[in-house]
Amino acid sequence: MNKQPEITDKTRQTFVNVFCDLYSQKPIEKISIQEIAHKSGYNRSTFYQYFTDIYALLDYVEECVLKSIHEEMASRELSTHTFQDALQCLENAEEISVLQALLGDYGSVHFVERLKREIPFEKLIADFPTNDSLAPYLIEFYISTLISLFRLWIRNGKDLSSEELVKLIDSLFANGIKPYYFFGTVNKG
């Protein structure tokens, strides 16, 4: 007898939610299948019906996020505020708790590198000279800065509005940090 698809999806999503909650609190090496199953209200054998191990679950979560971001980017017409588009794609990609886990303190560098590689952020940089020998370094700086500031924003509980974050990023890219820092004091300008 086959299970109903909505029950199967609900069970899988429960495992994902519990895993992301645990992964935001501790490294993956300290998370057991028994713990995930117990906190999900299922047994280990049910977990194995969906995932071969914790790393398969992590890969599933990463794939879902990347797919969602790709779909979000494909469905929108990019504006002239290109990093705002990138920010909104990340923010809208999945539940924020999933991104908190993947980009949090215990998240893997592997996911950040996948994000950089698989999401065409460089297309968001308007009029960018791609034939320049410095281009890979500039793209890496741009993308790494966006992701790092997004991670901090998520970690800080979105203490700025998305508009304030975009304004700050825009200012930092255009003017650097100098307008915010004067003789040992920070200007909240």
Give the model confidence (pLDDT) of 125-182 as tens digits: 555 666 678 777 877 888 888 888 888 888 888 898 888 888 888 888 888 887 776 6
Given a contact cutoff of 8 angstroms between Cβ atoms, the answer to whether 165 and 148 are in contact is: no
Q: Report residue 28's pLDDT band, with 50, 70 and 90 as the boundaries.
A: very high
Q: Which amino acid is at 158?
A: K
Name the more confident of 14 and 80: 14
Q: Return the pLDDT at 146.
A: 82
Q: Return the pLDDT at 34.
A: 97
Distances (CA, A) of 15 to 6, 37, 113, 123, 178: 14, 7, 25, 35, 46
Q: Return the pLDDT at 29.
A: 95
Q: Which amino acid is at 61?
A: V
* Secondary structure element (H or E) that encloses residue 53, with its range: none
- Residues contacting residue 74 through CB under 8 Å, at least 6 positions apart: none
Coil vs helix vs strand at 139: helix
Instruction: Name the β-bridge partners of 186.
Output: 181
* Average pLDDT in the chain: 80
Q: Return the pLDDT at 169.
A: 84
Q: Return the pLDDT at 185.
A: 60
What's the CA gap between 27 and 22, in Å, rounded? Answer: 8
Strands 185-186 and 181-182: antiparallel
The tens digit of pLDDT for each residue in 47-89 reads 999 999 999 999 999 998 888 777 776 766 655 445 566 666 6
Average pLDDT on 10-30 reads 94
The tens digit of pLDDT for each residue in 32-47 reads 999 999 999 999 999 9
Reference 86, options 170, 25, 159, 158; nearest CA is: 170
Coil vs helix vs strand at 181: strand
